[in-house]
Every structure is written in C-alpha cells, then in structure tokens.
C-alpha cells in the first residue's frame, strides 16, 4: 500500500526498489489550452547540474549516463488528466548526483496569462518499476502556487539511501529561469 505524504514530508525509498518510475500528473482547465511539461534536473551537492546534459526534458529525454529517461506524456485513461513519467535507475546514477528535482512548467504562461492556480489534481508518485506497485504519492495542495512552474518533489541521496521529499513549491517564473537557476547554460 502506498504512503501518502503532505508537503515537506520525507520518506526513504525501499532499498530493493532500485528502479522507480516517477509520475507527475495534473488536470488542466478544459476551456483553455494549457501546455504543461515535466522536467528533471540531476543535481550535485551544490544543487546545481554538473553540465547541461543533466537537464532532462522534451528536448533531451535521456540523461547522458542513461539512468534517467523521460517517457512521452499524455492523457491518463479516458479522463482529462495528463501525466508524464521518468524512469529512474537509482543504482546507475553517478555518485556525484545527490538529488533529482522534478519540475512541471506551463509553456508560455506569461504570454497566455496562466498559472498553477488554475491547475487541478496535481500529484507526483513513485512506482516500483519491477512490480508496478505505487510506493509513495504526494497530492499537491491547492496553494501550491500561482507561479508558472512548480517543483513537485525531489529524490535525494542520504547516507547511501534514496529519500523522496514532497515539495509542491510554486515558482513565479518559467522553465528557462528554472533551468538557469539550477546551472543550465543552454537548453
């Protein structure tokens, strides 16, 4: 049975779950065209990418080391819900990758005057890739922010073990600024 977290809570991933799927999902308003996209940032101890290749997004769907792969997203079943998934091989991550931040951004949010306050049912969940069992789920609260992007959650390495942290932090800027803040020079 999956553990449900609230903002700020941490939980260790089971030590035998070395390959996880990280699913980020949401429901955008039906009346207006929203274009949301998920990204992952492989970060070092300074919370910076080691190089631009550590920014995984629609334009670079696989990390250079092959340990993180962005799968194509889309609708969930016959609903208006959308989700994007990252396959993460925790055992294959380089030792100097200490954290993976999972971010969702609204494309052209400023020009379209859109923000996360209009997005419903946002969540992030970890699924054991071998058994397809949901390990942990975090449903972002309604006050996750009115920003153009949001950090849904992070996986971080602590004493050799991987820990998931539920964040739900709204950011007042788009994906380009998020990437620059993590040290990406060119996407």
Look at residue 16 and tell me if it is in a domain: yes
pTM: 0.93
Look at residue 32 and tell me if it is in a domain: yes
Three-state SS for 79-138 is CCEEEEEEEEEHHHCCCCCCEEEEEEEECCHHHHCCCHHHCEEEEEEEEECCCCCEEEEE
Look at residue 186 and tell me if it is in a domain: no
Q: What is the pLDDT of residue 134?
A: 95
Query: Beta strands 36-43 and 55-56: pairing type?
Result: antiparallel
Look at residue 187 and tell me if it is in a domain: no
Look at residue 70 and tell me if it is in a domain: yes
CATH of the domain at 147: 2.60.60.30
CA distance linking residue 170 with residue 185, whole number of Å: 22
Look at residue 167 and tell me if it is in a domain: yes
Residues 6+ apart with CB under 8 A from 61: 69, 70, 71
Q: Residue-wise pLDDT tens for the chain (187 aa)?
A: 679 999 999 999 988 889 999 999 998 777 778 889 999 999 999 999 999 999 999 999 999 999 999 997 655 544 568 899 999 999 999 999 999 999 999 988 888 888 888 888 999 999 999 999 999 999 998 777 678 999 999 999 999 899 999 999 999 999 999 999 999 998 6
Look at residue 23 and tell me if it is in a domain: yes
Tokens read off for 93: 């991550």
Domain range enclosing 86: 3-181
Nearest Cα residue to 29 out of 147, 117, 109: 117
Counted domains in the chain: 1
Nearest Cα residue to 171 out of 153, 142, 145: 145
Computed on alpha carbons and rounded to an integer, the radius of gyration of the chain in Å comes to 15
């Amino acid at each position: 049975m999956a553990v449900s977290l609230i903002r700020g809570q941490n939980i260790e991933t089971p030590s035998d779950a070395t390959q996880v799927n990280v699913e980020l999902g949401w429901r955008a308003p039906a009346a207006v065209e929203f274009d949301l996209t998920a990204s992952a940032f492989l970060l070092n101890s300074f919370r910076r990418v080691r190089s631009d290749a550590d920014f995984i997004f629609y334009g670079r769907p696989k990390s250079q080391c092959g340990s993180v792969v962005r799968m194509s997203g889309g609708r969930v079943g016959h609903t208006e819900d959308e989700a994007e998934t990252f396959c993460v091989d925790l055992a294959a991550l380089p030792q100097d990758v200490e954290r993976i931040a999972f971010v969702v951004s609204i494309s052209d949010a400023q020009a379209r005057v859109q923000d996360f306050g209009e997005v419903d049912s946002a969540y992030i969940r970890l699924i054991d890739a071998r058994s397809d069992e949901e390990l942990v789920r975090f449903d972002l609260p309604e006050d996750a922010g009115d920003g153009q992007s949001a950090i849904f959650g992070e996986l971080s390495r602590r004493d050799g073990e991987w820990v998931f942290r539920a964040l739900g932090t709204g950011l007042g800027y788009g994906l380009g600024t998020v990437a620059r803040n993590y040290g990406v020079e060119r996407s």
